[in-house]
Amino acid sequence: MSSLLELDNLTKFYGNIIALEGVTTTVEAGEVTCVLGDNGAGKSTFIKILAGVHTHDAGELRLDGKSVSFPNPRASLAEGIATVYQDLAMVPLMSVWRNFWLGQEPTKGRWPFKHIDTELAKGVAKEELSKMGIDIRDVEQPVGTLSGGERQSVAIARAVYFGARVLILDEPTSALGVKQSGVVLKYILAARDRGLGVIFITHNPHHAYPVGDRFIVLNRGRSMGNFAKADLPREELVQMMAGGAELDQLTHELESNSDGNGGN
């Protein structure tokens, strides 16, 4: 049986710059694949290829076993690959339910009187959010009044509702505090449990490890390996993220001064 999404030696050049080289991993339905990497590691390029902003130059991208390439974001979206960007596709001054349905409002009635089915829209928004375990007080409140974590969760719920099979989350926890990050991680698991293949992009191994089933670490455009969770203890992941030997050195230096701290 083929995986939901397979990346086989995916490579991307910008002119003569190698942005991404030889990235291989799989995304299974109901699993979380974490993509880790420091700034400039190629995470953005990785997302853009999957989201259809750029096309890859070499290697193969297989969806349900078929080789594909997305010429534009719409094509990617049409195949059920939804991307929740870091800056969020949300309009802060609009209510939660209007944001949830934006661009695909349910309507009823015939033309001159064709209008949004408000009750249905509000009901579905509320229900979908609560299915994800999101307790929105009032779907009428503007998104701008929600916390960062809540906004992420609305974006995730929206992607899930509109038929996403693969959910790409671009650094969803990077701007959040500890508690809010925990909330978002919970939603990631909720999306996974609803059978989506989740790609979780982050630079924080402590966020990735508890939720991930599979890890791929990028460094300067190259893949440093593609691991199943069982093959990769947490410490090793943390170390790999921070640059292995360099971190050992750093830890050593710091510890000789005071009690040092690794990753994070």
- Tokens linked to 105: 């409002």
Stretch that binds another protein, among 8-16, 20-28, 101-109, 184-192 (CB under 8 A): 101-109
d(CA 261, CA 186): 26
User: Which residues between 132 and 151 bind another protein (CB under 8 A)?
Assistant: 135, 137-138, 141, 145
d(CA 97, CA 6): 34
d(CA 231, CA 158): 34
d(CA 177, CA 129): 22
DSSP 213: S
| Cβ–Cβ under 8 Å, residues 26 and 227 | no
DSSP 144: G
DSSP 204: -
Stretch that binds another protein, among 18-26, 63-71, 90-98, 202-210 (CB under 8 A): 90-98
Per CB under 8 A, the list member of 58, 102, 120, 228 interacting with another protein is: 102
Binding-residue total with another protein (CB under 8 A)? 28
Per CB under 8 A, the list member of 58, 64, 72, 91 interacting with another protein is: 91
Stretch that binds another protein, among 6-14, 23-31, 87-95, 251-259 (CB under 8 A): 87-95
Residue whose token pair is 């490579």: 11
Per CB under 8 A, the list member of 16, 17, 71, 103 interacting with another protein is: 103
Per CB under 8 A, the list member of 4, 77, 156, 167 interacting with another protein is: 77
Side-chain-facing half-sphere of 223: CA atoms under 13 Å: 19
- Tell whether residue 118 is a contact of another protein (CB under 8 A): yes
* C-beta closer to another protein: residue 53 or 68: 53
- Interface positions with another protein (CB under 8 A): 73-74, 77, 85, 87-94, 98, 101-105, 107, 114-116, 118, 135, 137-138, 141, 145
